[in-house]
Structure 1
Amino acid sequence: MRYLLEKELLSVLYRGKSVEQFLGYGSTDKTIRWIELRPKVETSEVWLFEVENIGSNDYLDVYSFPEVDGSNSQALVTLQPEKAIQYCYEELNAIPTCWVNQGVIQDEYANLLSQN
């Protein structure tokens, strides 16, 4: 199963592992975006990444794509994990059923490419 259940999110974060959610295209179809929740001591950082959409079916390493306008330079907010998740829903339009473990975001990107 690719997607984490909503009740699993806190467990993953409290184990010190990041979770991510692919948001699709960014401000244009030349960019893509995703959220990462990074656990810290008793808090989680919310990171929003926007990178150039330079991939292909043979090049899915979104982590290596050039960032757009310094978007990867800092966390948006640092909150208690429950509040960080809620922030993602309210401010970044995250979907409760689309969280994945770190590293699976490339599969999400592959799905986007296959739809075009």
Structure 2
Amino acid sequence: MRYLVESFAVSALTRGRSVEQFLGPVGDAHAPGVRWVEVVPTNSEFKVVLHMSADVGNEGFYDLVEFPPLDPESEDDEFGLEIATAAGPRDALALAEHRTGAVRGRWVKQGVAQDEYRDFVLAGRPQQAAPC
């Protein structure tokens, strides 16, 4: 099973492991991109990081962290934009969902969002996010 039930996502974060979620397409026909959100535990809090990159992958190349930034002129950190912080893991997940449109039942372990991206590519890069 790819998706983490909420208690497993919270447990992963409590153990110091990030969770993430592929959010789908962003940009336009001239600059297609994709975005995903990550909740990252630190020593004292949980950071919500939104990533946006150029959609340069294919079914054989889908490692999202290797993709270039969506806007190469942007001064934002190429590893994502911190959009929120929370004191606890449940609050961080809720913030991520509220601020990015992430869905409660679609969190995955770190590194698995790239598999979601691959599914997106194999589905023909639909403009709407996959249904829950």
TM-score of the two chains, using structure 1 as the length reference: 0.92
Q: Any unmatched runs of 5+ in structure 2?
A: 125-132
Which of 42, 46, 60 matches 2:48? Answer: 46
Kept after mapping to 1: 8 A contact 2:51/2:80: no
* Structure 1 segments of 4+ aligned residues over 6 angstroms from their partners: none
> Residue 61 of structure 1: CA displacement?
1.2
Which of 54, 60, 63 matches 1:61? Answer: 63
> Residue 7 of structure 1: CA displacement?
1.7
Q: Any unmatched runs of 5+ in structure 1?
A: none
Give me the whole-angstrom Cα distance separating, in 2, the residues matched to 1:106 and 1:10.
Answer: 21
RMSD of aligned residue pairs (Cα, Å)? 1.5
| Aligned twin of 2:91 | 83
Which of 97, 110, 116 matches 2:118? Answer: 110
Change (3 A) 1:24 1:74: closer
Total equivalences in the alignment: 116
Query: Is 1:101 paired with 2:103?
Result: no
Change (3 A) 1:111 1:94: same
Q: Which amino acid aligns with 1:88?
A: A
Give me the whole-angstrom Cα distance separating, in 1, the residues matched to 2:8 and 2:60.
Answer: 31
Q: Which amino acid aligns with 1:94?
A: A
TM-score of the two chains, using structure 2 as the length reference: 0.81
